[in-house]
Amino acid sequence: MSKVFITGATGQLGKSTVNFLLQKGIAANQISALARDEAKATELKSKGIDVKIGNYDDSYSLLAALEGVETMLLISSSEMTKSRAVQHINAIKAAKESGVNHIIYTGFMRTHEDPKSPLWFIAEDHVKTEKYLKESGFTYTLFENGFYLDMLMDFVGEEVLETKTIFVPAGDGKINFVLRNEIAEALANVLTTGGHENKTYNIGSEQPVSFGEIANYISELTGVSIDYVSPEPEVYQQTLLQYGIPEAYARMFTAFSVAFAANTMNIPTSDLTQILGRRPTTVQEYLMSKFKKKI
């Protein structure tokens, strides 16, 4: 396999993707990884991964890191304090200058992407990045990821069996949830097989679900009757603040909830099923694993 370069490699998605590549028998010396902090890359180094120190804002470090690379997995930046699109475009420009052939980019699933969207504060950078990537002449693959199933309990509440209420302003909207680890497995599959050139995949479960359905699933699993309450977004945000949630997070959780209500991530898809060769983990299965120790 041609040398693969993974950005954001010390993050959870990046590390999981590296692990799946190694499980597939890809030699560690065929994988290079970008890390901003050398101390955080100790685990990668211990596995024989060629760690390159650099960041999206430093074009020289990117050029040096990309030498000899043919395929780049560009994991979107997690920074919210600056234009992530600028960072991503810096990486794409460096890849162009370094002779990279194929870029796989991780965006997120959305039904619309205009400035009126509740998630425009996140979508804008992805829209700009994907437009630039498509117009750059690269062979590309876009992963439009669903909402991390790993974060579901942040909305449901770990004490839901005690509170007996899910309190989220998501209305009747449905959301496509997906495990981060299964995204990583799919990325590794795409990195090691052909036929993905210039394709866009919606990466998620086959059937989105609502929080009302989630309340019913938990009730059925545990025998505890769980109510679902969808308050006004302002009430929800103030409630989070009263419980000591930092304002930036309270605003973000509220924005996602409003987007859920608007069905912004309500996209059924079989793309992940096809890439994995099996049906991905459902919300019901995930909840069963979370609550089996409590019932």
Torsion angle in degrees (nearest 10) through CA of 74, 77, 83, 86: -20
Q: What is the pLDDT of residue 1?
A: 46
Q: What is the pLDDT of residue 81?
A: 59
Q: Is residue 242 part of a domain?
A: no
Q: What is the pLDDT of residue 116?
A: 85
Return per-residue pLDDT of the chain as tens, 295 residues: 458 999 999 999 999 999 999 999 999 999 999 998 888 899 999 999 999 998 888 889 999 999 999 999 999 988 765 689 999 999 999 999 999 999 999 999 999 888 888 888 888 999 999 999 999 999 999 999 999 999 999 999 999 999 999 999 999 999 999 999 999 999 999 999 999 999 999 999 999 999 999 999 999 999 999 999 999 999 999 999 999 999 989 999 999 999 999 999 999 999 999 999 999 999 999 999 999 866 5
Q: Is residue 136 part of a domain?
A: yes
Q: Is residue 37 part of a domain?
A: yes
Q: What is the pLDDT of residue 114?
A: 83
Question: Beta strand 165-167 with 227-229: parallel, antiparallel or unpaired?
Answer: parallel
Q: Are 145 and 119 in contact (CB under 8 A)?
A: no
Based on the structure, what is the number of domains in the chain? 1
3-state DSSP: the chain helix, strand, coil percent, rounded to 5? 45, 15, 35
Q: Is residue 153 part of a domain?
A: no
Comparing CA positions, the residue from 120, 126, 69 lying closest to residue 94 is 69
Side-chain-side CA neighbours of 92 within 13 Å: the count stands at 25
Q: Is residue 16 part of a domain?
A: yes
**How many whole angstroms from its chain centre is CA 179?**
9
Q: Is residue 133 part of a domain?
A: yes
Parent domain of 22: 4-146+179-205+267-280
Instruction: Look up the CATH number of the domain holding residue 72.
Output: 3.40.50.720
Q: Are 201 and 169 in contact (CB under 8 A)?
A: no
Task: Report the distance separating Cα 220 and Cα 6, nearest Å.
Answer: 42
Q: Is residue 290 part of a domain?
A: no
Tell me the two tokens of residue 25.
Answer: 């028998």
pTM: predicted TM-score of the whole model, two decimal places: 0.95
Comparing CA positions, the residue from 249, 218, 227 lying closest to residue 236 is 249
Task: Report the distance separating Cα 270 and Cα 90, nearest Å.
Answer: 32
Question: Beta strand 227-229 with 31-35: parallel, antiparallel or unpaired?
Answer: unpaired
Task: Report the distance separating Cα 295 and Cα 275, nearest Å.
Answer: 34
Q: Is residue 83 part of a domain?
A: yes
